[in-house]
Amino acid sequence: MKAIVNIYLKEGVLDPQGKAVHHALKALKFDQVNQVRIGKQIVLDLDESDKAVALERVKQMCEELLANTVIEDYEIEIA
C-alpha cells in the first residue's frame, strides 16, 4: 500500500522560497501567477493491508516527524 503525504506551510506563514519563485516567474513574464507556495511530497511504501490502520500510522508519522505541525499542514492519501 502506498501513502502520499503532501506537506505545506500554513496560511499566514511566510514562504520565502515561494516568494523567490514568484519573483522569478514575474521576471520571466509569467504575469498571470498571483502567488506561489512551496511544499513537499513524501511517498511511503507501507507493509499494511488495512487502509484505516495505514492512515492512522501515517498520521502518527506526520505528527511525530514528517511535518512541523506548528507551521505546516499536511494531507494524506492512501493508494
pLDDT in tens, the chain (79 residues): 999 999 999 999 999 999 999 999 999 999 999 999 999 999 999 999 999 999 999 999 999 999 999 999 999 999 9
Number of C-beta neighbours around residue 53 at 10 A: 13
Quote the pLDDT of residue 36. Answer: 97
- Distance (Å, rounded) from C-alpha 72 to C-alpha 67? 6
Task: Tell me what percent of the chain is helix, strand and coil, each rounded to the nearest 5.
Answer: 35, 30, 35
pTM above 0.85? yes
Which fold does the domain 2-78 belong to in CATH?
Answer: Mth169; Chain: A , (3.30.1280)
Half-sphere exposure of 13 (CA within 13 A, CB side): 14
